[in-house]
Amino acid sequence: MKSVTTRYLMTCAAIGAAAGVLLIPVNFLAFAFTATAPMLVAVIVGFWLVGPVTALALVRRPGAALLTSGVSGVISMASPAGPSAIVTTLMVGAALELGFLITFYKVWKPWIFYATATAFQLYYLYTAFTFYEMETTSTWTQVLFCTLMMVSAWAAVWAGLRLAARLADTGVARGLAPRRTAATADTARADV
Amino acid sequence: MSAATVQAPVVAEHAVVAAPARASAPRRALLRTANPLVSLAGPFPLMVVVFFVADLRVLAAIGVATAVLVVAGTLPGPRMSAAVLLGAPLTAGIVTVSFGFWVDAAAVASTPVLVQAGPWAYHAGQLEIGLLTGLRVVDLMLLALLGALATTGPDVVRASIQHLRIPYRLGYAALAAVRFVPRFGHELEVIRSAHRVRGVARGRGPVAATRRQAGYAVPLLAGGIRHAERVSYAMDARAFGAHSTRTERTTHPWRLRDTVLVLSFWAACVAALVLAAGV
Amino acid sequence: MTASDGRPASDLAALLDMRDVAVRHVLEDGETVEVSPRATPDGVSLRVDVGEVVLLLGPSGSGKSTLALAANGLVPHVVPARMDGTVQVGGRDTRTHEVPTLSSAVATVFQDPDAQVVTGSVLDEVCFGPENLLLPVAEIERRAELALRQVGLWERRAEAPERLSGGGRQRLAIACALALGSPLLVLDEPTANLDPAGKEEVYDVVREIAASGRHGVLLVEHDLDAAADLVDRVVVLDGSGRQVVSGPLRTVLSEHIDELVALGVWLPVATLAAVRLGLRDRQGNLPVTPDELATLLSSRSAAGRLPEPRVDAARSVAPGATVIDVDGLTVRARRRTIVDDVSFRVTAGELLAVVGANGAGKTTLLKAVAGVTRPPRRTVRIAGLDPARADVADLASRVGYVFQNPEHQFVTGSVRAELRHGLTVRGIAPDESEVRVEEMLERFGLTDLAARHPFLLSGGQKRRLSVGTAMICRPEVLVLDEPTYGQDRERAAELLGLLDALHSEGTTVVLVTHDMQVVADHATRVIALADGRIEADGPPGLVLSDQPLMRRCHLRAPHLARATSHLPAPWNTVTRLADVPLSSPTAPQTVEISA
Ligand SMILES: Nc1ncnc2c1ncn2[C@@H]1O[C@H](COP(=O)(O)OP(=O)(O)OP(=O)(O)O)[C@@H](O)[C@H]1O
Ligand SMILES: Nc1ncnc2c1ncn2[C@@H]1O[C@H](COP(=O)(O)OP(=O)(O)OP(=O)(O)O)[C@@H](O)[C@H]1O
Ligand SMILES: [Mg+2]
Ligand SMILES: [Mg+2]
């Protein structure tokens, strides 16, 4: 805990706050869709991924996704979802962390983001199938539902990665992301 | 922030030294005066149960009980109470019928036909499965709403620091983030007008609109992160993280009542599972 | 043994002891690690003892803020940087102590009052630090009350910090620093975005703290006029961050004035005026405060040895065509009236300054007039258009707007693209726009940075770029919100010179500023706002000398006017530095640059 700087915490908090603000109307939408047209819920699931993907891709440190999504959960509690918002966002954050935990946070290739998001969506699909009794619906409904959900997630990952890249250009993450390899750090030191 | 406020400080007579933890909560509301963690620990297991239970009577019972608890436990005022009590059955009805349409008619062909319009038929089986989903949706909404009305994000964070051993630095990052929200709103307004005058992504239609919105994201977030960085320096400079704990002046005590409340929720879970298992 | 800043070193541990401090910023972003080749600051040694106020002076980018961060350990612990030399706070080496543990010895007040608020009420805010120090509740509340009473905010403890004025929030930040119980206070431009009244409030508090004899202060401040009377010693850095001179403020100013002028740091207006007049007191010292200048001037005047002031007739504007016509403009936001029934006309070639307290509605008014936000129909006409209905592109090509925060208006990824953007949108041919872009880069000294991301520029460079993006489209009207904020004297003078030039070429310029000396020196007309209403509208000489009016609007007279107001005519009307005659042949020519 000591090794984590306040700057890192607050950077994630800022991204989380923005994501949380975005999630408040999305939560309202989710409530409305669940009640009327569940197919549309599949379209908006991606919104939960954008914040943690951006944070993780920007600061490239363990815990960034979890922290960001936790904060966005706290912020988006100001919606009908209430405290359950935190549970949802933490679940998403934790899932994203898992993909990088497997590689010991050494590899930051985009495909890991996509793969992790896909795996999480499969799990989410399973719960949605139980909740909506999807096995009783027609095949084309099921296919459409699955497709929408996957496309939504992939679009969210794409948007998050792009946003992170553009943010990195503005220099806001300087000094936050750890050096990619020890070699670059050593050459830099040799220059001094 | 108006200049006049400097000269005419307005202080309420009852201004107290310790800022009240939840000034807005009515005194009598059972769940609002309870520890904020109750609204997390109590309803959440029930939400999971709702996912897996497929018993109409049990789901209906959970719905009715939660609706009553929302109104009686958080005293949300006459309008909200009416919305809950009328809205819940209405939503259940809508979802029941609309979900029925999604159900594959072939799978329930053996059940009696309720409505027949030409070649198209609405079976009783469809309605039954629809009702199952309808009750689930309403139960889930009510349980979420229960928490939403009983507590706020900052209170949950403070209580978590005190009782769940969440490191306080994480919690305070979240609390500080709550203060970013109005700032984001104001910044967004300014950025929007700045981009408008500079002629960014003009044009109509969803594509131009999406590009415009995406264009706001970078300056908004970059500004937000810069701000966060400065706030973090100010926090560090004020001894944030000097020790592994910190003094809290406002506390959210955990009382016997809170234990009883959480246990009642959990008992309801067990009861629901037992009933659904058909013992 | 003497400390390197020229004072005998005492045996007592100093509150702050810096020796040969040099800092190189490290830029690393996951891909590359790059250490700045230049150290800023570079080899600074200074000492702050109890009861002292030490001022750090230097041009923009010389490393003053970096040094302030080094004083509390944020450099090198948190801000990625390499630090050479040693910094001791209360006898503790910052290198071997964590930032939070140092905060009982040093407390910092930063520039932006908004960026220091963590909690939801004034009281909670002050308690935040002592709570982190794990003090018992009773002690925390005792300290909080003491600190809040000291800055005059105890009565408002239950309010949200956002409800305080800018000056109030900065006093709150000082209270937070005091509550930590740290004897050393580091103040980094604590009044930069405050109106004159807020500034005065903050310095009244700092003065008391300094007089209490329990604290030492390290101060970074551009506005020397506000702080001159409470500063004991000054340490001056040059553009590359090297320490050039240090010592008592009066001595340094008097003995090194030519060097300081050449460095382009801000200097007290009183001092600059005296230099122009070649005026020194019996001990050969230059005046530092308006009062000292006033004494000097009136003794000269009594002896009949004061030359006639210059009278500049060229500044009165011949009435031209109406360019801006505002008629009954009201702007409401969230059920609050922010601009209240404002009417005025501006004719071609005027240079209008809009002044007023923080939150008076200056920004809101200008945005509505320039069409940045849409005003109600038929309340505004600007450059022949009604911004309520005009096409945005049309409007933008005739009216240039420079935002208070330059980052808000950057929309591309490089300095060059940023300048080119406005021309592309307006459909100007590529080769023509290429020429204009190069010219603008040259003019603003941004050629070397053309490929840089706008967000990675320094504050001063960002401000210049944002002015450049507005100017490159050659608008008829240029509207600027606090254009000199955060610039050093040389940069500010350059920018104001540019505005003067545009203005004399016939562009109508409207600007908002908190610097009354800028108004006096450059504006042809002033509008003073208070609570969204026009309190006064007229030539600067008239408006700025109306004391009751200025107080009502939370404003203060320009520093020069304060020194001259008690003199016999015609000196009592002198408010512009340019009106002070260059009477002495020895007066350095550089002082021609107005403050
Ligand atoms: N976080 C950072 N990363 C990289 N470079 C930095 C950083 N902060 C400051 N610098 C650079 O270090 C130099 C000194 O900056 P600093 O902010 O200390 O100057 P300053 O004297 O306070 O200027 P000003 O009067 O404009 O506030 C500048 O060249 C600046 O670009
Ligand atoms: N969109 C908005 N919604 C609500 N309040 C607003 C809005 N814009 C401005 N205000 C409020 O209106 C008042 C005037 O704001 P404005 O920014 O115009 O002041 P200003 O004179 O430019 O102040 P400063 O000198 O601090 O820049 C402030 O109290 C501000 O909080
Ligand atoms: Mg600075
Ligand atoms: Mg303003």
Q: What is the residue extent of each domain of chain B?
A: 38-151+254-277, 158-237
Burial class (CB within 10 angstroms; exposed 0-12, middle 13-18, buried 19+) of B123: buried
Q: Is C129 on the interface with B (CB under 8 A)?
A: yes
- Any idea what DSSP says for residue B166? -
**Domain segments of chain A as ranges:** 6-191
Q: Which segments of C154-239 are extended strands (E)?
A: 184-188, 216-220, 233-237
Contact assignment for B233 to A15 by CB distance below 8 Å: no
Chain C CB contacts of A175 under 8 Å are: 26-29, 79-80
Q: Which residue has the tokens 């053996």?
A: B110
Residue C217 corresponds to which tokens in the numbers above? 């202060």
CA C31 to chain centre: 36
Phi, psi torsion values for C137, nearest 5 degrees: -55, -45
Taking the C-alpha atoms of residue C253 and residue C363, their distance in angstroms, rounded to an integer, is 36
How far, in Å, from the CA of A111 to the mean position of ligand 4?
Answer: 46
Taking the C-alpha atoms of residue C110 and residue B233, their distance in angstroms, rounded to an integer, is 9
Residue C309 belongs to some domain of the structure: no
Contact assignment for A170 to C30 by CB distance below 8 Å: no
How far, in Å, from the CA of C354 to the mean position of ligand 2?
Answer: 14
DSSP per-residue letters across C18-39: EEEEEEEEEEE-SS-EEE-SS-
Contact assignment for C33 to A188 by CB distance below 8 Å: yes
Residue C241 corresponds to which tokens in the numbers above? 């961050």
Taking the C-alpha atoms of residue B113 and residue B136, their distance in angstroms, rounded to an integer, is 24
User: Ligand 2: which residue has its CA nearest to atom 29?
Assistant: C359
**For each of chain A's 192 residues, which pLDDT tens digit applies?**
556 889 999 999 999 999 999 999 999 898 888 777 777 888 999 999 999 999 999 999 899 999 999 999 999 988 888 888 899 999 999 999 998 998 888 888 999 999 999 999 999 898 888 888 888 888 888 899 999 999 999 999 999 999 999 998 888 887 776 544 333 333 333 332
Chain B CB contacts of C108 under 8 Å are: 233-234, 237
Q: Which of C408, C420, C424, C471 best probes binding to B when mutated, by most B CB atoms within 10 angstroms?
A: C408
Phi, psi torsion values for A179, nearest 5 degrees: -60, 145
Residue C72 corresponds to which tokens in the numbers above? 């509390």
Among C114, C243, C232, residue whose Cα is nearest residue C166: C114
Q: Is A53 on the interface with B (CB under 8 A)?
A: no
Q: Are B274 and B58 in contact (CB under 8 A)?
A: no
> Of C538, C553, C570, at which residue does a domain stop?
C538
Taking the C-alpha atoms of residue C348 and residue C341, their distance in angstroms, rounded to an integer, is 23
| Total length of chain A | 192
Same domain, C393 and C514: yes
Taking 50 as the pLDDT cut, the residues of chain B under it are: 1-26
Same domain, C375 and C238: no
Which residue has better confidence, C194 or C534? C534
pLDDT in tens, C401-421: 998 888 888 988 899 999 999
Taking the C-alpha atoms of residue A53 and residue A72, their distance in angstroms, rounded to an integer, is 13
Number of domains in chain C: 2
Q: Which atom of ligand 2 is nearest to the CA of B2?
A: 29
Q: Which residue has the tokens 């935040």?
A: C128
Contact assignment for A177 to C30 by CB distance below 8 Å: yes
* Cα dist from C344 to C389, C480, C507, C554, whole Å: 20, 18, 18, 22
C361 lines ligand 2 (CB under 6 A): yes
C22: Cβ contacts below 8 Å, ≥ 6 apart: C39, C41, C42, C43, C44, C83, C84, C85, C241
Q: Which residue has the tokens 């603003």?
A: C444
Taking the C-alpha atoms of residue C246 and residue C290, their distance in angstroms, rounded to an integer, is 23
For chain B, which chains pass the contact test of at least 3 CB pairs under 8 Å? A, C
Least confident of A33-37, C281-285, C299-303: A33-37
> Is the C-alpha dihedral spanning C155, C168, C364, C114 positive or negative?
negative
Instruction: Give the pLDDT of residue C28.
Output: 65
Local confidence band at C312 (pLDDT 50, 70, 90 cut-offs): low
Residue C520: which CATH number? 3.40.50.300
- Around ligand 1, the residues with Cβ closer than 6 Å are C 25, 27, 40, 58, 60-66, 79, 458-460, 486
Residue C588 belongs to some domain of the structure: no
Reported as type and span, the H/E element at residue C297 is: helix C290-302
Question: Considering only alpha carbons, which residue of chain B is nearest residue A39?
Answer: B102
Instruction: Give the pLDDT of residue A181.
Output: 38
Local confidence band at C318 (pLDDT 50, 70, 90 cut-offs): low
Taking the C-alpha atoms of residue B185 and residue B208, their distance in angstroms, rounded to an integer, is 22
Residue C446 corresponds to which tokens in the numbers above? 């941004």
| Total length of chain C | 595
How far, in Å, from the CA of C65 to the mean position of ligand 1?
Answer: 7
Distance from CA of B3 to the nearest CA of A (A): 30
Taking the C-alpha atoms of residue C25 and residue C79, their distance in angstroms, rounded to an integer, is 8
ipTM (interface pTM)? 0.88
Contact assignment for A6 to B236 by CB distance below 8 Å: yes
One-letter amino acid at A158 equals W
3-state SS class at C428: coil
B23 lines ligand 2 (CB under 6 A): no
CA A90 to chain centre: 10
Average of per-residue pLDDT values in chain C: 86
Q: Which segments of chain B are extended strands (E)?
A: 113-117, 120-123
CB atoms within 10 A of CB C33: 20
Instruction: Give the pLDDT of residue C593.
Output: 37
Taking the C-alpha atoms of residue C177 and residue C159, their distance in angstroms, rounded to an integer, is 19
Termini Cα distance of chain C: 39
C554 lines ligand 2 (CB under 6 A): no
Local confidence band at C32 (pLDDT 50, 70, 90 cut-offs): low
Residue B219 corresponds to which tokens in the numbers above? 């300056």
Which residue has better confidence, C43 or B213? C43
Contact assignment for B195 to C195 by CB distance below 8 Å: no
Instruction: Give the pLDDT of residue C219.
Output: 95
Burial class (CB within 10 angstroms; exposed 0-12, middle 13-18, buried 19+) of C303: exposed
What long-range pairs does B253-259 form, CB within 8 A, spacing at least 24? B253/B35, B254/B35, B254/B37, B254/B163, B255/B34, B255/B35, B257/B34, B258/B34, B258/B35, B258/B37, B258/B38
Distance from CA of C25 to the nearest CA of A (A): 10
User: Ligand 2: which residue has its CA nearest to atom 28?
Assistant: C359
pLDDT in tens, C548-569: 999 999 998 888 888 888 888 7
Q: Is B240 on the interface with A (CB under 8 A)?
A: yes
CA C594 to chain centre: 16
| Total length of chain B | 279
Reported as type and span, the H/E element at residue C48 is: strand C42-48
Taking the C-alpha atoms of residue C511 and residue C479, their distance in angstroms, rounded to an integer, is 6
Contact assignment for C413 to A169 by CB distance below 8 Å: yes
Q: Percent of chain C beyond pLDDT 90? A: 39
C364 lines ligand 2 (CB under 6 A): yes
Residue C188 belongs to some domain of the structure: yes
Q: Is C134 on the interface with B (CB under 8 A)?
A: yes
Q: Which of C29, C77, C457 best probes binding to A when mutated, by most A CB atoms within 10 angstroms?
A: C29
Taking the C-alpha atoms of residue B76 and residue B29, their distance in angstroms, rounded to an integer, is 9
Residue B132 corresponds to which tokens in the numbers above? 């199952």
Q: Is B117 on the interface with C (CB under 8 A)?
A: no
Q: Which of A4, A172, A179, A181 best probes binding to C when mutated, by most C CB atoms within 10 angstroms?
A: A179
Instruction: Give the pLDDT of residue C590.
Output: 40
Instruction: Estimate the crossing angle of helix B205-236 against helix B180-197, to 10 degrees.
Output: 130
Q: Is B3 on the interface with C (CB under 8 A)?
A: yes
Instruction: Give the pLDDT of residue C38.
Output: 85
Taking the C-alpha atoms of residue B198 and residue C401, their distance in angstroms, rounded to an integer, is 9
Instruction: Give the pLDDT of residue C434.
Output: 93
B104 lines ligand 2 (CB under 6 A): no
Reported as type and span, the H/E element at residue C42 is: strand C42-48
Kindly list the strands in the beta sheet with C351-356, ordered across the sheet, starting from the edge strand earlier in the chain. Answer: C399-402, C477-481, C508-512, C351-356, C525-530, C533-538
> Is the C-alpha dihedral spanning C438, C467, C373, C405 positive or negative?
positive
For chain A, which chains pass the contact test of at least 3 CB pairs under 8 Å? B, C
* Cα dist from B144 to A46, B39, B47, B150, C591, whole Å: 21, 9, 8, 10, 69
Per-residue three-class SS string for C453-470: CHHHCCHHHHHHHHHHHH
Residue C583 belongs to some domain of the structure: no
Contact assignment for B91 to A35 by CB distance below 8 Å: yes
Q: Average pLDDT in the C45-56 region?
A: 93
Q: Which range of residues forms the domain containing residue C487?
A: 322-538
Question: Considering only alpha carbons, which residue of chain C is nearest residue A187?
Answer: C33
- Any idea what DSSP says for residue C402? E
Distance from CA of C196 to the nearest CA of A (A): 32
Reported as type and span, the H/E element at residue C273 is: helix C269-277
User: Ligand 1: which residue has its CA nearest to atom 5?
Assistant: C25
Instruction: Give the pLDDT of residue C8.
Output: 46
Q: Percent of chain C beyond pLDDT 70? A: 93
One-letter amino acid at B100 equals G
